[in-house]
Amino acid sequence: MLTIQSQNIWNIFFQSSLEELNRINPFLENIPPLKRLKEDRFYFLRLCISEAVSNAMIHGNMLDKTKTVSLNLLVETKHCIITVTDDGNGLPFGQLESVKVLTPSKEIGNRGLRIILDTMESVSISKTEKKFSIVMKFIG
């Protein structure tokens, strides 16, 4: 299901099933402002969104198909705010900080979070609201 709330906000909802990840690329390709991104920036945006949505499905909703994951994009002139929300209990307190200090040799888990932290302008996680927010600045 795709919902456009205004000219610069796009939403999509997923069942918590990994097959649903196939819907991300066509969704992003149909957002007109994202077409101005350079190919490499679009690749990393898509990769980070895929990682955040799959983490929400797997770790947040435990792949329970009765639970949903929502993806919201607010596309502004110079940046995009991406919010992924699941029906789970949120990221364990302190996990984001522990991922930030991982060295390459110790990166066994948290691959998705590491990619997101290394790629995006800023990342914030809200445990109480179960939201994972990513801000990416557009590069002209």
What single-letter DSSP state applies at residue 61?
S
Torsion of CA 59, 62, 63, 68, to 10 degrees: -80
Please state which of the four CATH numbers 3.50.50.60, 3.30.565.10, 3.40.50.970, 2.40.110.10 is assigned to the domain occupying 2-137: 3.30.565.10
58-80 in b/e form (b: 16+ CB < 10 A) is: ebbbeeeeebbbbbbbbbeeeeb
pLDDT at 28 over 90: yes
Ranges 12-26, 50-64, 87-101: which has the least confidence = 87-101
E strands along the chain, which residues?
A: 2-6, 9-15, 68-75, 79-85, 122-126, 131-137
How far CA 128 is from CA of 38, 57, 60, 72, 119, in Å, comes to 35, 17, 13, 18, 25
What single-letter DSSP state applies at residue 58?
I
What pairs with residue 126 in β-bridges?
131
Digit-coded pLDDT (tens) for 80-122: 889 888 887 765 555 555 555 444 444 446 788 888 888 888 8
How much is the pLDDT for 90? 63
Q: Spell out the domain ranges in the chain.
A: 2-137
